[in-house]
């Protein structure tokens, strides 16, 4: 489990996409699991969880796009 003291979507997206599966914890946002290189919504999710998952997964997709 990796713990992030600050919410930095790009850094978290790099970590999730490289490790492919596991768990992370973000101070002030809570714990998350990721599988297949994408962050998953927690079981008892609140609005902030959905927002965090959406934002980080968008960053992961941006990292996977080819840059010309």
Report the candidate in 5, 1, 12 with the shortest Cα–Cα distance to residue 55: 12
Nearest-angstrom CA–CA distance, 16 and 11: 9
User: Edge-to-edge strand order for the sheet containing 30-35?
Assistant: 2-4, 22-26, 30-35, 38-40
Whole-model pTM above 0.85? yes
Pick the CATH number of 2-64 from 3.90.1300.10, 1.10.510.10, 3.30.1910.10, 3.90.1150.10: 3.30.1910.10
Per-residue pLDDT tens, the chain, 68 aa: give them. Answer: 999 999 999 999 999 999 989 999 999 999 999 999 999 999 999 999 999 999 999 999 999 888 77
């Amino acid at each position: 489990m990796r713990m992030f003291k600050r919410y930095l979507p790009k850094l978290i997206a790099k970590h999730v996409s490289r490790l492919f599966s596991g768990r992370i914890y973000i101070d002030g946002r809570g714990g998350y699991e990721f599988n297949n290189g994408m962050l998953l919504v927690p079981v008892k999710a609140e609005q902030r969880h959905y927002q965090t998952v959406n934002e980080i997964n968008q960053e992961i997709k941006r990292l996977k796009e080819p840059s010309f």
